[in-house]
Amino acid sequence: MSEQEARFDQAELGRRLQTLRKLHRRTQADIAEVLGVSRPTVAAIEAGQRRVDSALLVNLAKAYGSRISELVREPMPPISLQAQFRLPADAPLAERTELEQAVASLETLVASYLRLEKMLDSPLRPGAVPYYRYEAARLEQDAEMVADAERRRLAAGDGPVLKLRELLEREGGLRIFSIPLPGGVAALYGVSHEAGPCVAINANHPAVRQRWSLAHEFGHFLTRLDRPEVTRISGYQRIPEHERFADQFAAAFLMPSAGLQRRIRELESADRQVTVADLLLIADEYEVSFQALVLRLEGLRVVSSGTWDALTHSGANIQAASRLLGVEAPPADTLKFPRRFVFLALEAFDRALLTERELAELLGEDRLTVRELVDRMASTGRDVQDGSGTHPPLSESMHVGTRP
């Protein structure tokens, strides 16, 4: 170890010791008394100006209820997600400030994720993901082709994609976080050499918007691997080509043409017309918004162009029809961390690599909540059971004309 590296290690150790002391609400004089040294000695240690031998290190660890390995662990390198995110020139300053804070928060979360993987020697090893290209002149056709290819690769069939976040984390190697973002921003996509592709979806958005945002960012990942993106709900005077591709991909990936058209044919097979109620139930089945479904059917020419506009101006009470059908909006995904992140943190705690306090700090929860989480996960064997609901077979009188 060089002299410079030794100085750095002592300085890092000093910062950690100072942080621990403040967390324990103790003074330098308190620690000096416990260690049997002078207060200036403690001050010099925290300033990185005095080397700490092994015997003193043991006593310091005992004083703070910590482990020696935690005090001297190698610091994680700072994470950069190539955060050259672009916003329209007219984006308000407050939104820019919020976005900068969100990027910094995402980088901190990713660094914690990498630290857990290194601690447990359990790096993320996703399978190889193809890289696709598309042509501007064939944007819609290429988006359909890429979506079909990815659904085949992921064995998703031609029905609704189940557990989209978990699927993209497991098979695509995306590190997906749910954090508050500015209201007009749906998601962030960034890439780190250390962590690979990382996505933040807006924790404040409804579930169907979050699901669309994930599919949209997946489209960016498949075609623009090294390009960071900010996905806005609106604000573009002219939608860029790559945004149009990502939206077209999201529609095709979440609502595959073959499966969707088959569902419509099933409804029409009994010599009946497709109703708004039918479409509401299909939108609920595919976990997309009613608007997204109708526009997708327009694009596939299953319903007449302009159907969505006609429905919105018809006076049909879509919300009332949803309530009658028992179609309820699913809860937003507010799980800040990927599930794998939480399981790794609990594994580190089980193996005594993290204290309860460190686990609570890592998960951003109080110690009582973390204690309850640990007990619950232990009692259930860390299985996550998801309930499913059914909807009564009601119908809505307004018909939607489909094309022959």
State mean pLDDT over 74-100: 64
d(CA 201, CA 179): 6
Percent of the chain topping pLDDT 90: 35
Over residues 210-219, the mean pLDDT reads: 95
Give me 104's structure tokens: 């910094």
Give the number of C-alpha atoms closer than 13 A to the C-alpha of residue 13, restricted to the C-beta side: 27
Going by C-alpha positions, the residue among 312, 384, 311, 313 that lies closest to residue 346 is: 384
Q: CA Rg, the chain, in Å?
A: 26
Between these two residues, 402 and 27, which has the higher pLDDT value?
27
- Report residue 354's pLDDT band, with 50, 70 and 90 as the boundaries: confident
Tell me if the pTM is above 0.85. no
Nearest Cα neighbor of 264 from 212, 301, 216, 305 is 301
92-111 as b/e: b if 16+ CB within 10 A: eeebeebbeebbebbbebbb
Residue ranges per domain, the chain?
3-72, 93-254
Buried b (16+ CB within 10 A) or exposed e, 351-372: eebbbeebbbebbeeeeeebee
- What does the pLDDT read at residue 10? 79
> H-type helices in 65-172, by residue range?
68-72, 93-120, 139-153, 164-172
Gap between the Cα atoms of 172 and 37, Å rounded: 54
Q: What is the pLDDT of residue 86?
A: 57
3-state secondary structure of 400: strand
Least confident of 69-73, 122-126, 255-259: 69-73
Backbone angles phi, psi at 196, to 5 degrees: 80, -155
For residue 229, the cross-strand partners are 189
Q: Where are the alpha helices (DSSP H) in 224-353?
A: 241-254, 257-268, 276-286, 290-299, 307-312, 318-325, 339-350
Q: Is 390 left (phi over 0), alpha (psi -120 to 50) or beta?
A: beta
User: Is the confidence at residue 267, as pLDDT, over 70?
Assistant: yes
Q: Which of 203, 115, 110, 113 is nearest to 165 (CA)?
A: 203
Average pLDDT over residues 357-372: 86
Instruction: Judge whether residue 392 has pLDDT over 50.
Output: no
Average pLDDT of the segment spanning 86-93? 62
Arithmetic mean of pLDDT over the chain:
82
Report domain 3-72's class. mainly alpha
- Position of tokens 């482990």? 67
Per-residue confidence band for 165, with pLDDT thresholds at 50, 70 and 90: very high
Residue 40 confidence class, pLDDT cut points 50, 70, 90:
very high
Give the pairing type, strands 229-232 and 185-192: antiparallel
